[in-house]
Amino acid sequence: MRYAMAVDTLKCVGCTDCVVACQTENDVPMGHCRDWIVEKTTGTYPQLQLEIRSERCNHCANAPCVRTCPTEASHYAAGGIVLVEESECIGCKACITSCPYDARFIHPEGYVDKCTFCVQRVEKGQKPACVSVCPTHAMIFGDLDDPNSSISKAMATRKWKSLIPEAGTDPKVFYLI
């Protein structure tokens, strides 16, 4: 089992529904977010391109945060989901510094917080909250080890990229382009 997410940049309109759904689902404190929108414009008027991405923790298979965590609070859970055990986290921020994706923040209660792929939902067979609300169905979540999963099929048939591949983190969030 290898959980992964693909964000279809051709469908994403950057509406931020994923952001607010995550915030309400997971009670993320105001002023913080576990997922966010990046809009990148290239070209000059009138020859322009715009890429819109919903970004979050990449749940890397070779995760710098897990390697740098001195207390093993950051760890791999079932299916490769990268999680932080709140009670073990000492708030040292080593993981925040090491993450090339800027995906982590200090929760007001003192521990490090980030996207969990909504593990509490995934364990029950549901999709992460962001995926379940997306009005344009721009996000796909599933198991890369299952060749029949919709994410495996999308990865096999669509052009895709991941972010900062040169960091060697083996990310599990992909962008269909």
Q: Are 173 and 114 within 8 A, CB to CB?
A: no
Please, which residue, 24 or 150, has the CB nearer to another protein?
24
Please, which residue, 51 or 88, has the CB nearer to another protein?
51
Shortest separation between residue 10's beta carbon and another protein, angstroms = 7
Please, which residue, 24 or 62, has the CB nearer to another protein?
24
Please, which residue, 20 or 61, has the CB nearer to another protein?
20
CB atoms within 10 A of CB 135: 10
Q: Are 64 and 21 within 8 A, CB to CB?
A: no
Rounded CA-CA distance 158/70 in Å is 39
Shortest separation between residue 35's beta carbon and another protein, angstroms = 9
What is the SS3 string spanning 61-106? CCCHHHHHCCCCCEEECHHHCEEECHHHCCCCCHHHHHCCCCCCEE
Please, which residue, 2 or 39, has the CB nearer to another protein?
39
Shortest separation between residue 90's beta carbon and another protein, angstroms = 21
Residue 119 phi/psi, 5-degree rounding, is: -55, -35
Interface residues with another protein (CB under 8 A) are: 10-11, 13-17, 19-21, 23-25, 27, 29-33, 36-46, 48-50, 52, 55, 102, 105, 108, 120-121, 124, 126, 132-138
Shortest separation between residue 145's beta carbon and another protein, angstroms = 25
Shortest separation between residue 120's beta carbon and another protein, angstroms = 6
CB-count exposure of residue 107 (10 Å: 0-12, 13-18, 19+):
middle
Q: Are 2 and 80 within 8 A, CB to CB?
A: yes
